[in-house]
Structure 1
């Protein structure tokens, strides 16, 4: 398919993305929920700050990297991952459920090109969305912590990594949701399967055994936790690197893309 025709597919998928009136509200509510959790924790730190020995406590607080971990909390990451996973799953499974996918494939028989356009639009939108939410969270949380002189700048060790890891969580989860949606072709089932893979699977593996630790490290949410780690995190029997966590991000995204492209090409409508 030539570049002009593919641009038309991109434009069509862009229109589909924003054709539902609920779409902007879904993004808005997700952003407000994630940012709200982060700001809430930062405010708790500010509100319950102990003024006694504040100088030494502040130095330890910053030295241990706690302001960096405050950029994106565990609660915010769960909401963010779940919402973006659902958006990605519905982007494909929703078309199968309504039968609209038949019209799409009739108009454009090149199924892989259609899927590539869907993935490109969703990943692009999610990357921008994730970046906005992560940056707003960083600015607001550090502004609140700064009232106690414990806020940090973006060039503080680990701060940029935390922002990038949280921002990229959105496109990774969305693309994984699309891959699952392409296989299961049902929105509800795809979301449930995605929750099991992204949010529940990490609880099935521990750090006590090598094989279990390796499987745990290979999961997207575990990779996010590794990228958000702070210096005083207790050592684990089988540690891994932030480079390995970035590789996990990339592997899941690329694997989901390959899965979606293969499934849509080999299976009937």
Structure 2
């Protein structure tokens, strides 16, 4: 009997006393026990913080205070620019959170203990969503504070109390958590790690490249791509400058993508054989 099964048994899962809270606790044990959790979350943190600093160092030598005051330049997003790469490990971990059990065959034991199935998916969503958001919020805050040091030395930095700064930090963390949940949804749909990761990378990286090759008349639709939504959520510049949707609308659209994916994943999980 493996560690996960023992944890489930101690929680009373599979003994006639299955509750959503106990399933959530079981999924938390699973997430902590995965080797991939530490590696991928650590990579996301390093990318978010490690790329923000050099981006801010470069900008500090080229921006003027007038550009920042007119909001033509965005020091907040500059310090959070690493989210465009940090989204990859977060999304991959979301996929692995779902497909890892299919790869090992553990999904049979999990669904045998929780035969209604959907509580397992909702527990994974709750555990992974909360864990990734909290960690990415801390990483985004550190990235912001570190990035503003060189910018402030050249008079182009801002503080967390500046208009839109705190909201952008929250938006960056929220976007990364939603990307992870989108990966989890794709994992539930496809049940195969390579396929789900490929689909996720196609959405995050492939679609922006494809839109760049399309006629100019198609370019306004690119604002609805997940990566552009992430930029909008982590930005303080007005839509008239960025040519993106408002941060609030970016959050709504990105959340809608994630919800649709999870509903489709729930439908597949409930209908398909293991």
What is the TM-score with the length of structure 1 in the denominator?
Answer: 0.85
SS in structure 1 of the partner of residue 143 of structure 2: helix
Query: Is 1:34–2:48 an aligned residue pair?
Result: yes
SS in structure 1 of the partner of residue 19 of structure 2: helix
User: 2:245 & 2:84 partners in 1: Cα distance?
Assistant: 22
Partner of 2:38: 24
Partner of 2:181: 175
User: Alpha carbons of 1:59 and 1:37: their partners in 2 closer, same or farther (altered >3 Å)?
Assistant: same
Q: Which residue, 144, 152, 160 being the options, matches 1:154?
A: 160
User: Alpha carbons of 1:146 and 1:4: their partners in 2 closer, same or farther (altered >3 Å)?
Assistant: farther
Partner of 1:69: 77
Partner of 1:58: 65
Q: After TM superposition, where is structure 1 displaced by more than 4 Å over at least 4 residues in a row?
A: 1-4, 231-236
User: Alpha carbons of 1:95 and 1:137: their partners in 2 closer, same or farther (altered >3 Å)?
Assistant: same
Query: Per-residue displacement from partner, 1:45-89 (whole Å, max 9, x unpaired)?
Result: 34x469xxxxxx32333433431221211xx12321111110000
- Give, in angstroms, the shift of residue 263 of structure 1: 1.1
Partner of 1:255: 260
User: Alpha carbons of 1:101 and 1:78: their partners in 2 closer, same or farther (altered >3 Å)?
Assistant: same
Higher alpha-carbon deviation: 185-194 or 153-162: 153-162
User: Alpha carbons of 1:256 and 1:232: their partners in 2 closer, same or farther (altered >3 Å)?
Assistant: closer
SS in structure 1 of the partner of residue 79 of structure 2: coil
User: 2:55 & 2:128 partners in 1: Cα distance?
Assistant: 30
Query: Per-residue displacement from partner, 1:222-252 (whole Å, max 9, x unpaired)?
Result: 212233263596575xx64333212112102
User: 2:77 & 2:246 partners in 1: Cα distance?
Assistant: 17
User: Alpha carbons of 1:22 and 1:81: their partners in 2 closer, same or farther (altered >3 Å)?
Assistant: closer
SS in structure 2 of the partner of residue 70 of structure 1: helix
Q: Aligned-residue CA RMSD in angstroms?
A: 2.5
Query: Per-residue displacement from partner, 1:97-153 (whole Å, max 9, x unpaired)?
Result: 111100101111010011110111111111112211111111111123122232211
8 Å contact kept, 2:37–2:93: no
SS in structure 2 of the partner of residue 109 of structure 1: coil
User: 1:18 & 1:36 partners in 2: Cα distance?
Assistant: 24
